[in-house]
Structure 1
Amino acid sequence: MGMSAGYELARRAVKTLLIDAFDPPHTEGSHHGDTRLIRHAYSGDPAYIDLALRADVLWQEAEQLSGTELLVRSGVLNLADSAVYSFSGRLAEAEKRKVRVEHLDAGEIRRRWPALSIPESFAAMYEPDAGYLYSERCIAAYRQLALAHGAELLTNTPVLNITAREGSVTIHTAKGDYHGAAAILSAGAWFSMLAPFVHLPIKAVRKVVGWFDSAPAFAAGNFPGFTLGTEEGGYYGFPGIGGAGLKIGRHDTGREWSPGEPLAPFGSEAADEGDLRRVLEAYMPGAAGRLLKGSVCKYEHTPDEDFIIDRHPLHPNVLLAGGFSGHGFKFSSVVGEILADLTISGATSHNIRPFSLSRFTPSGHSQAGLILEGM
């Protein structure tokens, strides 16, 4: 989100400084691991569908401007046990907004993808226009475009403190202090490092993904991206790309993590591979081969799993953007546009009311001086 916002500001001729504790793209956040799903049919607040459709347009623009393939329309197959999850809400919202979707029963799922072992209780919502993004390429593309428009980037520069007053923000780092009229804070799983300047109800958790040796039926071009809702839990994944094997991760569960703590490598817990293999053996046996690679990343999410895009309750010239993990990467192109809009004009045409920080206060209104403790 920060790199996208940096590009959007720089291309609008705003003098822009980007500060990162590492050197993006990197493995210390929530964006590594090659791929992220992009889909458009959401339930809940209609803002998600509108933003997903706009994000798709912006990804295409970034792809053209950077000359790098970022988006692959593999389709996304959303599978679920009907006893666990119903697609009715998402199907209804998709129809209202003319998003192409197909509702499939178990027989049709098996006919189209015979390598799946799906019980009769399963149904699916297939999105033919959805697919996946090459996440690290996306970060690199926005970095390239931002710098080309005159943005400056400080890498390997942790932020030590922030001070703000009307019309001015100072970022204190080990390499010096940097001053601007406004700031955007998009620190992901590292937001707690910015206390006491800001406290957000964001929890970071350790997550794992694995790549498994899989049959040709699960290779890119033959199999779509997918989500899987089962009694065993919620999962997501990608076809085998370039011989890397089918990639799968678990959306729910995860051990809480705090900045400064070691992040245990893949395989440190039996469930790292065990949870993934168990669901593959049950529903995708042809993809339950040898583990080719495992990786660890961080989820950072809010209690309701909706985003935070709002102003600091005490400093209106400081914007906060966080709580995106689990389903947020696809939106980073449009979130950058939103943050640039808010920085420059104070408003955006996009509906961001569902992402207000005030929803976590008892009254539903922002309160000066309120400290929102991390959950």
Structure 2
Amino acid sequence: MLYDVIIVGAGSMGMAAGYYLTESGQTVALVDAFDPPHEAGSHHGKTRLIRHAYGEGSSYVPLVLHAQNLWEELDKKTEERIFAKTGVLNFGLKGSTFLNTVEQSAKKHQLPLQIMSAEEINQYWSGFQLNKGLIGYFESNSGVLFSENAIRTYRILAEKNGADVYTNSHIQSIDTQTDQVTVQLEGEKLTGKKLLITAGKGTNQVTSLLNIKLPLTPLRKTFSWLNAAQNSHYKEGVFPGWSYADENSTYYGFPNMDGTGLKIGRHDGGRPLDDPQELEPFDSYPEDEHEVVDFVRKHFSKNIELSEGKVCTYTSTPDEDFIIDYLPGYENILVACGFSGHGFKFASGIGDSLAKMLMYKEPAVSLENFRLNRFSDSFSFFSK
């Protein structure tokens, strides 16, 4: 069979793209080294925040609003929870770069944003105990995405539309011609008109088969759950999602969703990985536990203790923006990567955009800022 598109990496972006392609009648093969949803990619851990007044840059706002609309559409197509409008509180030191950009994003795109003092935050959400000098920007329309539910739903819908999903499959080689691409798996060969690579931390492992190395750095990261099951101050509907930033650190967290406890992680920092496939377990380093517990004791009002920790991998570009572009020298091989840390919220919108690009249609939101040529003066894409 000659597929319209072969997708290597059926995680957040790949599975979403597969669904939107099949919705348009395209024939699709989705290939993954595991069985999505799973814990070896960037979508595990049950939940992700979706923020609209974007502190990473106002240019992201149109994309996140497009993604929000698509998440809400997906929510209506399944009995699984996809989105919960918990609201998101962005807080930190007044004048920090992150909070200034949150405010600028809201003003530029006319987004609702409530400015709150530390005292007002402590009174409104009794779970906080913020010190004077901190300030908050509350986004009432933002909230929490259920990442594994979303991947599972996209997969079910894509398969109903006729997509073939090849799980626990490892790529041996990629053969390219002008009008088609052949992907050799262990014992099976797939042929398609186009190839989409959305392989997360395994991206350079795939592109190396084409003698291409992209500017991606893998980092070992952790996230934690804290025991708050009996504490009504932190339950969903009472406590918001939140993010914190100053000039030295960035944290994020979630209310107690479905009795799982408070989930908290640190966005910055992390330990470089020589091999992104090898992750040392949680508690291998002192900071795994202490940096989150110390943060909670400083900013939260109730005595809550660490109950579980997990590890994951961030795979980021030098400027921490995404890569969405055709590979150098290939007109039928599209790559999308570098999403780690803040990418999942965009997965619906990016999946839709990738599908349109592969069908030679204009995406709903411009992706020009994510082109590879922004690195061309400082990075060689070809392996030696």
Shorter chain as denominator, the TM-score bin is over 0.9
> What CA distance in whole angstroms lies between the structure 1 residues aligned with 2:363 and 2:98?
33
Q: Once structures 1 and 2 are overlaid, which stretch shifts more, 254-263 or 134-143? A: 254-263
Amino acid across the alignment from 1:38: I
Counterparts of 1:258 and 1:346 in 2: how far apart (Å)?
38
Q: What residue is the counterpart of 1:39 in the other structure?
A: 51
Deviations 1:174-207 (A, max 9, x none): 1322110001000101112111423111111111
- The one-character-per-residue Cα deviations of 1:259-287 (angstroms, maximum 9, x if unpaired) are 4652111111111011100100111141x
Judge which range, 74-83 or 178-187, deviates more: 74-83
1:66 and 1:144 in contact (8 A); partners too:
no
Q: Which of 246, 249, 271 pairs up with 2:265?
A: 249
The correspondence for 1:220, drawn from 229, 236, 242, is 236
Which of 320, 331, 337 is residue 335 of structure 2 equivalent to?
Answer: 320
Identity of aligned residues (%): 36
Match of 2:224 in 1: 210
**Residues 190 and 259, structure 1, Cα contact 8 Å, conserved in 2:** no
| Deviation readout 1:151-186 (Å, 9 max, x if unpaired) | 110000012222222111111211322110001000
What does 1:150-161 correspond to in 2, within 5 Å? 150-161=162-173
Which residue of 26, 38, 57 maps to 1:26?
Answer: 38
Report the CA distance between 1:42 and its aligned residue: 1.6
1:18-97 matches, cutoff 5 A: 18-43=30-55, 45-82=57-94, 84-85=96-97, 87-97=99-109
Deviation at 1:251, TM superposition (A): 0.3
Q: Secondary structure at the match of 1:4?
A: helix
Provide closer, same or farther for how the CA distance between residues 44 and 136 of structure 1 changes in structure 2, counting only shifts above 3 A: closer
Task: Name the CA distance, whole Å, in 2 between partners of 1:86 and 1:150.
Answer: 43
Distance in structure 1 (CA, Å) of the matches to 2:120 and 2:304: 25
1:371 aligns with 2:381: yes
* Equivalent position SS for 1:182: strand
**Which of 147, 157, 171 matches 2:159?**
147
Contact residue 66 and residue 145 of structure 1 kept, 8 A: no
In structure 1, what residue type is equivalent to 2:347?
Answer: S
Deviation at residue 228 of structure 1 after TM alignment: 1.1
Equivalent runs, 1:1-375 vs 2, <5 Å = 1-43=13-55, 45-82=57-94, 84-85=96-97, 87-194=99-206, 195-197=208-210, 198-214=212-228, 215-230=231-246, 233-259=249-275, 261-286=277-302, 288-345=303-360, 347-362=362-377, 370-371=380-381
Q: Secondary structure of 1:66's partner?
A: coil
**Deviation of 1:62 (Å):** 1.1
**May I ask how many residue pairs the two structures share in their alignment?**
367
1:111-148 Cα deviation digits (max 9, x unpaired):
21233121211111110000010110010000011001
Question: 3-state SS of the aligned residue for 1:124?
Answer: strand
Rate the CA distance shift 1:261–1:82 in 2: closer, same or farther, 3 A. same
Gaps of 5+ in 1: 365-369
Q: Distance in 2 between matches of 1:94 and 1:7?
A: 31
Structure 1 vs Structure 2 CA RMSD: 1.8
Q: For 1:371, give the aligned amino acid.
A: F
- Cα distance change on mapping 1:92 and 1:260 into 2, 3 Å: closer
- Distance of aligned partners of 1:319 and 1:350 in 2 relative to their CA distance in 1, 3 Å threshold: same
After superposition, give the CA deviation of every residue in 1:212-239 in whole Å (9 maximum; x if it has no partner).
1133211211100011124662100101
Distance 1:250 1:363 in 2: 29
Give the aligned partner of residue 367 of structure 1. Answer: none
Q: CA deviation at 1:290?
A: 2.5
Whether the aligned pair in 2 keeps the contact of 1:101 and 1:127 (CA below 8 Å) is yes
**What secondary structure is seen at the aligned counterpart in 2 of 1:205?**
strand
In the alignment, the residues of structure 1 paired with residue 313 and residue 161 of structure 2 have an alpha-carbon distance, to the nearest angstrom, of 31
Structure 2, unmatched stretches of 5+, are 1-12
Aligned equivalents of 1:164, 1:124: Cα separation in 2:
52
SS at 2:366 equivalent: coil
Task: Report the Cα distance in structure 2 between the residues aligned to 1:76 and 1:12, rounded to whole angstroms.
Answer: 34
Shift of 1:291: 1.8
